[in-house]
Structure 1
Amino acid sequence: MARIPGGFSSQAFAIECAIHEGRDGDARNLLFRALAAGQADPQTQRLAARYFDPKKKPRGRPKSAPAYWFDIGTEFYSMRGRGVKYEDALRKLSEDFGRSETNIRTAIAYYDESKAAHDEATAE
């Protein structure tokens, strides 16, 4: 008969099965019972530490939308519809909003992404 590997734990196996099957309540109860009884083997203790360890938040501030992105995007496409050249539209918007051309390009890209997401969500 095949030998069971040294890192095998029937307790941890049952708990991992419950986690993978989406039965979080059962997994939590099995972990609590094993830990409270003082019979948790090292594999079960490692599993409990991973299960109860809170997720770390990403560092830094969450990304925010560029300032005036909606106004910049609508005005940009309005100008382009009237026949204004791309570079001229960037320059004019940069002057009007007091932002760099790079910031204007970023706002237009954000507008395009938001519009595409909206169109996809509302499409039938």
Structure 2
Amino acid sequence: MLKKEPTYHMKPNPHIHPLCAEAIQKIVRMENPKFADFVALKTYGTDVYSAMGWDELQQYINEETIVIVEQFEDETNILSALRWVARGLPARYAMRKASADYSMYRYKGT
């Protein structure tokens, strides 16, 4: 018997690079994405979400994404994860992406 893949249909998003959309779909289809998969996930340039601050990103906070705000203490990580949600990455993966980036690059909030 073939294992049925989970269905996740990302709405087309004209505001992100097509390679970014493809990479998001790839991660979502993976059974168990690894740290390296999240580090490799890129925006392929600046998009409309890259410059979004707290005020604009609050529209993406809902029951599913509130865990992002609760998970991270650092506002930079919260904003990064919410930007990935805005791009179409599910919240559970957006948190892993933000954590992977922080772990790799140790960026500092301003």
Larger RCO: Structure 1 or Structure 2 (Cα < 8 Å, ≥ 6 residues apart)?
A: 2
Looking at secondary structure, tell me which structure has more helix per residue.
1
Q: Do Structure 1 and Structure 2 share a fold, with TM-score over 0.5?
A: no
Q: TM-score with structure 1 length normalisation?
A: 0.27
Q: TM-score with structure 2 length normalisation?
A: 0.30
